[in-house]
Structure 1
Amino acid sequence: MILLSRASLLLIALYRKYAPASVRERCRYYPSCSAYSLVCIKRFGFIQGWKLAIARLKKCRPPNGGYDFPPGKKR
């Protein structure tokens, strides 16, 4: 599972670096969906992290938006 987690983190990092700005800057939440996914996968592991990330992506549609931090430590 560690290898899958690292591969996922690498793919998300590549998306954040190379995706067009018109796509990346349209996220309606803070932190962005890709940043949220990185935190979830690091904090909860591959399976639970992706479950949380996919749930977040499903609700990332207009008129939604606002602050939505990963579960766990409060800021």
Structure 2
Amino acid sequence: MNNILSIWGIFLIRAYKSCISPYLPRTCRHDPTCSSYAMQALQKYSFFKGSYLILNRLLRCNPFGTKGFDPVP
């Protein structure tokens, strides 16, 4: 079940990156971008651990948050 959720999450991120992201300005303060980070987190960890890492990253990605190189642990 966990693997199916990860695959579904990766599919949604790829859809976002190909259909929505090209029309938006780049606003992510990190490298890799938040969407790439999310895909890597779901590929490396389970859906639930990956989701936790993604949420943590998204909360840090704001004008007052961190910036720079921030790879998936």
Query: Are positions 1:27 and 2:28 aligned together?
Result: yes
Where has structure 1 moved over 4 Å in runs of 4 or more? none
**Pairing 1:14–2:15 present:** yes
Structure 1, unmatched stretches of 5+, are none
Q: TM-score, normalised by structure 2?
A: 0.88
Unpaired segments ≥5 residues, structure 2: none
Give 2:71's aligned amino acid: F
Q: Assess, with a 3 A threshold, how the Cα gap between structure 1 residues 36 and 18 changes in structure 2: closer, same or farther.
A: same
Distance in 2 (CA, whole Å) between partners of 1:45 and 1:24 is 30
Supply the RMSD in Å over aligned alpha carbons: 1.4
Aligned residues: 71
Deviation at 1:45, TM superposition (A): 1.3
Alpha-carbon distance in 1 for matches of 2:55, 2:42: 11
Mapped to 2, the partners of 1:24 and 1:16 lie a distance apart of 12
